[in-house]
Amino acid sequence: DAKTTQPNSMESNEEEPVHLPCNHSTISGTDYIHWYRQLPSQGPEYVIHGLTSNVNNRMASLAIAEDRKSSTLILHRATLRDAAVYYCILRDPREGGNQFYFGTGTSLTVIP
Amino acid sequence: DAGITQSPRHKVTETGTPVTLRCHQTENHRYMYWYRQDPGHGLRLIHYSYGVKDTDKGEVSDGYSVSRSKTEDFLLTLESATSSQTSVYFCAISDFEGKLFFGSGTQLSVL
């Protein structure tokens, strides 16, 4: 299974953009890149996902490198409510490949 | 929450006793998952199901069994609980786009 590598922790000032990196050098051509976040004392929640092209939604943007070996989750203006653990995972949607493996993620601290 | 209910929310039990955690969904999704979360280890997949009576092991399945007799229910059983199984357990479902939705979790303490 393709794995991902993320920094253990990052800090950001409130109202500034945040770029959360993820390396996935062994990604296969059919792996989707998913991002989830987990607020304190809650279950993880879906943030965004993509395959090759950059993606935007109301929560964040996902920038995917041209070779797909890395990606970056972009929070355009960090708020205190964005303080969470962010997980980057790969998912292969082919039949029998619907396992989702999480690592330890990146703990984001937002400084007021 | 995307129609996922975990029960119980909290449980304290003794070593050697059987424990069953229940996950119930109202979304009629095919895939369901059980994870455990421990400090320093993040979320680890225990078992998952891809349909009624169809289940498979995840990365930390030893000491756990699962059953899925109905689409809406996915049960996780610890046949003989050990202190190393003290953890927070999360159930999740996967929709047709492959997005995961998690329950609120069950805090299990094995004394």
DSSP-derived secondary structure for A14-74: TTS-EEEEEE-TT--TTPEEEEEEE-TTS--EEEEEESSS-EE-SS-EEEE-TTSSEEEEE
Dmax over Cα atoms in chain B, in whole Å? 40
Q: A53-62, A90-99, B74-83 — which is least confidently predicted?
A: A90-99
Give the H/E segment covering residue A10. Answer: strand A9-13
Residue of chain A nearest B57, judged by CA positions: A99
φ, ψ of residue A81 to 5 degrees: the values are: -75, -10
Decide if pLDDT at A99 tops 80.
no
Decide if pLDDT at A51 tops 70.
yes
Decide if pLDDT at B103 tops 70.
yes
pLDDT at position A86 is: 97
* Residues present in chain B in total: 111
Decide if pLDDT at A72 tops 90.
yes
For testing contact with chain B, the best of A90, A98, A107 (most B CBs within 10 A): A98
Tokens of B106: 């069950």
Say if the Cβ atoms of A49 and B99 lie within 8 Å: yes
pLDDT at position B39 is: 85
pLDDT digits (tens, 9 = 90+) for B45-101: 999 999 999 999 988 999 999 999 999 999 999 999 999 999 999 999 998 778 899
- How many Å lie between the alpha carbon of B98 and the closest alpha carbon of chain A? 7
C-beta separation of B108 from B88 below 8 A? yes
Decide if pLDDT at A95 tops 60.
no
Confidence at B2, pLDDT banded by 50, 70, 90: low
Confidence at A103, pLDDT banded by 50, 70, 90: confident
C-beta separation of B2 from B93 below 8 A? yes
Confidence at A44, pLDDT banded by 50, 70, 90: very high
Chain A partners of B99 at a C-beta cutoff of 8 Å? 34, 46, 49
First to last CA, chain B: 31
pLDDT at position B48 is: 93
What does DSSP assign to residue B72? T
For testing contact with chain B, the best of A9, A42, A46, A89 (most B CBs within 10 A): A46
Decide if pLDDT at A66 tops 70.
yes
- Percent of chain A at pLDDT > 90 equals 74
Interface check B39 vs A, CB under 8 A: no
